[in-house]
Structure 1
């Protein structure tokens, strides 16, 4: 069966929603919207901040037996270098720490620190220093980059294709950054592209759809060209789109097999 649950979010009832949003945005570096607060996408650390009703005091989790600090949200980092960088970032912005970095030799070893938010919720960040500790480049695709000639038109088209908001804070001169749900980014870059010829390209992106035929109709309605029509294999269906700059996108749907 195809994947059905894409991510989950921890819900925190807070006493002052505006104060909490500012803390998570300005101190902890979260991307905060009216719907959620997330760092590294909805598959990174993702929260919903709900205004508590008048008279209700938020109740953070108590410590487990033998512990000195309760944990409400747990985050994991791949290396201690990444964990240390996160700690220094939070510290430089005035974060409040319920626990400074500590190493637990019997658990990996495991290194962890704990941040406290304005309502006393505790966010733990930790990880083991595994075989990738010597690598400064993380083993993940951070962004996909598409070159486009008309940035405004491309931003509008891709926003409609994936149902994404277009926000002023995501525009950096001739580059626009879409923050995707899985923590990666789509960068549309128009630097030096005025009048550039359209090259022949293979697929640069693969996007997932829940209904392949509907996805095709929607994409064509947004001005994309069909580069390869829908093909159905035993476990997957797919088609290719082409935008006006020659970028090719593969759209797939996993098929349920009995």
Structure 2
């Protein structure tokens, strides 16, 4: 009998929570959401692989703008070009910051790099430096020969290869070669120097391990309580 009372009490607690959350959402002038929003996990129960198709199904069913909750974080799902334009023009400062994820803390030097720094004087200074030293017309023209050479090498490699080619890996290596030639003056992939190839494999392994920390794959970013138990990795196949 006591167990029955416990079950009834838990059921009433969950129902009360869902009802209160639903009413609060209605009176808070927030974008529409999906009912129910479950305690603790929010809308994480909706996610299925691959994630972009899940978002497409949600948008097709519930409309062009939906406010979801992934654990402790709110996620605004926008599928309308006009609404997206409004987000990045009239309300651009509101959406200027990135969330503080473990990826940005570790690889973004505690959120001080250009990609992860919060909107403000420091970020504007970094953007000015990047615009001048990396993205200016003069600098882009200086690196034009590198981009053209790497593109030509990739085409030759594809033409000489009679077996199927993983284009994702090929373009990834193309991007890395361009970046490393701009930074260090040498290419890591597709060359004939064994030492450089070995160094390139180690470099790519470092990058793969670094990107495995990406926020979308770290469940602890959405459910911080899990970090107390050492549970951080999310199944990456949700996002590919």
- Tell me whether the two structures share a fold, i.e. TM-score over 0.5: no
Alignment TM-score, normalising by the size of structure 2: 0.24
Alignment TM-score, normalising by the size of structure 1: 0.23
- Structure (1 or 2) with the greater helix fraction: 2
- Structure (1 or 2) with the greater strand fraction: 1
Larger radius of gyration: 2
Comparing both chains, which one has the higher relative contact order based on Cα–Cα distances under 8 Å and sequence gaps of 6 or more? 2
